Structure formats: C-alpha cells, structure tokens
Amino acid sequence: MMQRKYQRSFNQIRKIVEDTAGFFSEHEIDDSLRMKVDLSLEELFVNMVTYNTETDSDILIEMKPIEQGIEVSLTDFDVERFDPTMAAEIDIDAPLSERTPGGLGLYLVLKMADSIHYEYRDRKSKITFTNRVTGE
C-alpha cells in the first residue's frame, strides 16, 4: 500500500509518474497496465487541480496491489461534490468542427479503467479505479 500527498500543481505529475513506476516495480505489477494507470491518474489529478479551486489542501493518492492488477484512489479534501463517473459522453464520431478538447480526459478515464467508484463524505471527494491484466 502506498499513501502519498501531492501539491496542487501540474508540476507534480512527474513525481506521480516516478512514484507509480516505483510502485509497479516494487509490487511486480504487470507493466502493460502502466499507460492506462498513468493516464487515469493524470486526468483525475488534473481535474481536481483545475476545478477544485476552493481549497489549498494537498491531494492524497493511494495505491495497492490487487489480484492481476492495481487499485488507485485520489482524495481531495474540503471540496464540493463532483462525480467524474457522471461525466458527459463525448461524441467521438463528431466532425472536426464540432470537436473540442473539453471533457476528453474524464471520457478516457471511463474507457481505460476496469472499474471506477466515487464517494463523497464530509467534504472529501474520493475516486477509486482499478486496472487488471484480465480486464484488457
């Protein structure tokens, strides 16, 4: 189990990637999951940093190995409720003129994760996702 807090800055992404690589190595988690985990972690972290601007609290990231994979949680403290699992669908068949970058990140998270769960309690916003080799 890893528990680590990160400042609310995009500059922390590099540190998160390094810590994730270390966790994968330490627990011998299949490296084929790295891209999906890195992507979901970044998108959810960036979403919290960008939209939960009413707090200065660090963001807590937890990782634990599970059978054939990994479970990752991000917790943001003293924020309003925002459930990423309810993010609007993106029409990936829309023509270029109608496409915008907005919303693509959470859409990709929902595509990449094998499971995803949101909970909100005492102004704590926590999102948990899993990726398994067998889920590919």
Partner 1 sequence: MFKIGLNDNGEVAVSGRLDAAQAEKAQEFLDTVTDNCVLDLQGLEYISSAGLGVLLRTHKRLMGSQSGLELVNVNKHIGDIFRYSGFDKLFVVRAAQ
Interface residues with partner 1 (CB under 8 A)?
10-11, 13-14, 17, 35, 38-39, 42-43, 46, 90-94, 96-97, 99-101, 104-105, 107-108, 111-112
Q: How far is CA 54 from CA 48, 78, 106, 120, in A?
A: 11, 8, 21, 16
Q: What is the nearest approach in angstroms of partner 1 to the Cβ of residue 123?
A: 25
Nearer to partner 1, 10 or 54 (CB): 10
Nearer to partner 1, 116 or 120 (CB): 116
Q: What is the nearest approach in angstroms of partner 1 to the Cβ of residue 15?
A: 10
Nearer to partner 1, 46 or 66 (CB): 46
Q: What is the nearest approach in angstroms of partner 1 to the Cβ of residue 108?
A: 6
Q: How far is CA 133 from CA 43, 69, 75, in A?
A: 21, 6, 25
